[in-house]
């Protein structure tokens, strides 16, 4: 692949990830991860696809709905590995009707396996988590 094809493939990886979250499709979601991946969710790292999937199922079950929309991103690509970050807008509501607006950031590493880019690691953090009117605390990304 050339650099433009790699960047498009990485963007499509995130598109598949978010689409799977929005549709609550566990199989499609976990298919975006490498076998030995690590998901660091708010300071709690979990390794291996089985453990990552179990955590995701636990998290997603706590929402009536979750809508994840990727925003800006940057990548550094070197052969079959890459690093990058994504900013996201997220909207959720729990079964009791409590809604939340989340602005977040993923710091990622990627690996190309079998001609396909996958997440090798994802480090997730909040920038904002609160009411939709943005009256909550904002933490600028480092």
CATH number for the domain spanning 112: value is 3.10.450.50
**What's the confidence (pLDDT) of residue 15?**
98
The Cα–Cα gap between 65 and 94 comes to 7
Domain assignment present for residue 91? The answer is yes
- Whether 141 shows a pLDDT value over 90: the answer reads no
Domain assignment present for residue 19? The answer is yes
Output b/e per residue, 13-52; b: 16+ Cβ within 10 A. Answer: bbeebbebbeeeeeeebbebbbeebbbbeeeeebeeeeeb
Mean pLDDT of 4-14: 97
Domain assignment present for residue 135? The answer is no
Q: What is the pLDDT of residues 34-91, one digit of tens each?
A: 999 999 998 999 999 999 999 999 999 999 999 999 999 999 999 999 999 999 999 9
pLDDT, the chain, mean: 96
Q: What is the pLDDT of residues 93-138, one digit of tens each?
A: 999 999 999 999 999 999 999 999 999 999 999 999 999 888 989 9
**What's the confidence (pLDDT) of residue 108?**
98
Domain assignment present for residue 68? The answer is yes
Total domains in the chain come to 1
Domain assignment present for residue 111? The answer is yes
Q: Provide the residue range defining the domain that includes 111.
A: 3-130
**What's the confidence (pLDDT) of residue 142?**
78
Say if residues 84 and 76 touch (Cβ distance below 8 Å). yes
- Whether 1 shows a pLDDT value over 80: the answer reads no
Domain assignment present for residue 32? The answer is yes
Domain assignment present for residue 137? The answer is no
Domain assignment present for residue 122? The answer is yes
């Amino acid at each position: 692949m050339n650099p433009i094809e790699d960047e498009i493939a990485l963007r499509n990886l995130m598109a598949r990830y978010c689409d799977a979250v929005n549709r609550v499709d566990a199989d499609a979601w976990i298919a975006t991860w490498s076998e030995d991946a690590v998901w660091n969710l708010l300071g709690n790292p979990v390794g291996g696809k089985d453990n990552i999937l179990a955590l995701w199922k636990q998290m997603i079950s706590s929402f009536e709905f979750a809508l994840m929309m990727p925003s800006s991103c940057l990548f550094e690509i070197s052969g079959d590995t890459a690093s990058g970050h994504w900013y996201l807008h997220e909207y959720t509501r729990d079964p009791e009707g409590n809604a939340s607006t989340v602005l977040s950031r993923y710091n990622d590493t990627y690996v190309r396996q079998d001609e396909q880019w996958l997440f090798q690691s994802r480090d997730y953090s909040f920038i904002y988590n609160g009411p939709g009117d943005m009256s909550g605390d904002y933490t600028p990304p480092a």
